[in-house]
Amino acid sequence: MIARMRLAVGVLALAAGVSAQAEPPLPPPYAGAYQPQGVDEQGFWQKMDEEERRLAQSDMVIRDPALVGYVRNILCATVGEDRCGAVRPYILRVPIFNANMAPNGTMQVFTGLLLRVHSEAELGAVLGHEFGHFEARHTLERFRAARSSTDILAWAGVLGSLAPSYDVVRAYRNLEITLISSLYSFNRDHEREADRLGIAYLNNSNLRPQAAAQVWERLIEEYQADALSKGLKKPRLDRVPFYATHPPQVERATTLALLARPEAATRDDGAARYRAALAPWLPQLLDDQIKLNDFGASEYIIQSLAESGWTAPLWHARGELYRLRGAPRDLVQAAQFYGEAIALDPAHPEAHRGLGLALLKTGQAAAGQKALLRYLELKPDAADAKLIGMMIPKEVPAP
């Protein structure tokens, strides 16, 4: 199915009529981090610094030094050590595709982005795009335009009202998470300029620049899969605020493919390193995605990740996806998927739990109770241990 979708993307790209650029771009000389000019900008910077301090204390922020350091290293490998010195990345546990950067050097990377990209080069493409907004000072342009018609004190009120909290993003549907996320949506010309800067950074790096187009191709495929699962005739790509002011995805994928240096196609994209670095977080990121209740999108993401090989966490996630949808046939398939996870990792406790619950719902009480007993043996301190224990009669023999 994925291969057919990518063929369709290629046909759409030809129809888009995007002409090839004369020469793949390289980044301009780095002029150094911008410093605020005048009283208004200095006041704006101060409010941005205050917002960053609030962000740093948010329970949405993932504080794993290894993961944060790894993401920062990918940014530095993409844009260069000189440029990335001014950036302070924060990883937010929000399962949607997004990243952004404020003019004071604060970068937000959402976990939904980390789940969807498959390599260091793909992540670098998105981070480089956001850094392009930063280097081109697009946020400042918006600030100045807003300042011309809005008193600076009104902006201060907006800043003070948008501190990050878990309640704001509980549904994971609203991109208006913090000032840094909500205040800066760019127009299409800004997005196109940031795309060109992002691909220029990759062209000048040791990563494979062709990965930039793959990010958008995969997003198109995800929305096609999501639409298909909902019975829609075509994806509603305009329904997600992140895309509202962006160029069409087909245009972006095609343009980025044309601007990537052809001789760089054989470079390493860091896919194996990326999988290894994300592995400790993958079960949590998959669980967050499944809880969005977007079956088609979640199924697509799981299967796309499995292109590099099925693993126990991927089989378990697929089992959870089908079990939570809960149709009779889904429960049968979920039990099969949990079984695949257990075959690869017999000590995977959550796979035994899911298997037990799926079997109980299909009327296989004895087998289900044995699977749940095995779950409790593997994870006796589980948060739901008492609840699961109530489903197991004392006379059930150990598996």
Average confidence (pLDDT) over 26-31? 83
pLDDT per position as a tens digit, 112-151? 999 999 999 999 999 999 999 888 887 766 666 655 544 4
- Chain-centroid distance of CA 3 in Å reads 22
Distances (CA, A) of 99 to 41, 89, 206, 212, 281: 23, 10, 22, 15, 18
φ, ψ at 56 (rounded to 5°) = -60, -25
Residue 85: pLDDT over 50: yes
Catalogue all structural domains in the chain, each as residue range(s) with its CATH number: 2-264 (no CATH), 310-389 (1.25.40.10)
Q: Are 264 and 210 contacting, i.e. CB atoms less than 8 angstroms apart?
A: yes
Task: Report pTM.
Answer: 0.83
Report pLDDT for 264: 95
pLDDT per position as a tens digit, 245-254? 455 678 888 8
Mean pLDDT over each residue of the chain, to the nearest integer: 82
For residue 373, name the pLDDT band (cuts at 50, 70, 90): very high
Q: In whole angstroms, give the CA distance from residue 271 to residue 282.
A: 15
For residue 240, name the pLDDT band (cuts at 50, 70, 90): very low
Report pLDDT for 160: 38
How large a percentage of the chain has pLDDT more than 90? 56
pLDDT per position as a tens digit, 156-174? 433 333 334 333 334 433 4
Q: In whole angstroms, give the CA distance from residue 15 to residue 37.
A: 45
The length of the chain, given as a count of residues: 399
Q: In whole angstroms, give the CA distance from residue 260 to residue 215.
A: 13
For residue 230, give the 3-state DSSP assignment. coil
For residue 388, name the pLDDT band (cuts at 50, 70, 90): very high
Q: Picking from 198-207, 231-240, 380-389, which range would have the lowest pLDDT averaged per residue?
A: 231-240
